[in-house]
Amino acid sequence: MRLFLVDVPEGPTPFHGMMVPERAPMETYPIMLDLHGRLAVVVGAGAVGLRKVGALRRAEAQVRLVAPQIDTDADLAGLDVVRRAYHEDVLTGAFLVLACTNDRSLNARIARDARRIGALVNVADTPEECDFHLPATVRDGDVTVAIGTGGAAPAVSAWLRRRIAHELPERLGPFAAALDEVRTELKAVVADPERRMAIVKQLASDEGHREFLRAGRSGLRTKLSELMEDKKET
């Protein structure tokens, strides 16, 4: 699954020519966004910009980095690198735009240019100029837990991320991947979608997780066999 999480506001933001209804300024709608192959333009190659480039690359976005100067140690593999000062033409075809320069007036200009072409924009350290906010995340395989504060308190998001990271079950990503395999296999043997859902819900539990930790996928399949026998009897 190629997913990337953003918080998209429900204010008057153009999204490829469409306007969404006006709401409270910081009300946001959390989604998982597939960026595979879509163009994300990052303007600015400081620490913030390069960190966002890394996250976008992990989401398999097509990334264009725009900056007149870039650290020689920066990993630029797979990027479309434009080594010059910003001009609006670098945004052509962009789905997302991230303004990460240290010039607030330039960032505001980038935001205006991005909205004019229907791209969503994030402006570093200026929440009120953002169409989406990048949450703090905890990841284990395909499992992502994200924490956002609407851009108002990033330090709170980081604190919660550290706390949540300590509380997540062990090997959660591999457990989720194994459950996905089981769910796919169930489709071939259990025609009733409600019954399949009931079985998967019982596997996605503390007991199912313990069986996975004890014996891996085979432990999960053993538990699945028990559940299916129970269902037959009832």
For residue range 56-106, list pLDDT tens digits in order: 999 999 999 999 999 999 999 999 999 999 999 999 999 999 999 999 999
pTM: 0.77
Amino acid identity at 147: I
Task: Look at residue 28 in the predicted model and tell me its pLDDT.
Answer: 82
All residue ranges of the chain with pLDDT < 70 are: 1-26, 230-234
Q: Which residues pair with 131 in a beta bridge?
A: none
Task: Look at residue 234 in the predicted model and tell me its pLDDT.
Answer: 53
Which residue's structure tokens are 């953002």?
130
Count CB-CB contacts under 10 A for residue 139.
14
Task: Look at residue 233 in the predicted model and tell me its pLDDT.
Answer: 52
Which residue's structure tokens are 């308190």?
153
Structure tokens, 166:
């300590």
Q: Please name the residue ranges forming H helices in 61-143.
A: 104-116
Reported as type and span, the H/E element at residue 198 is helix 193-203
Task: Look at residue 19 in the predicted model and tell me its pLDDT.
Answer: 43
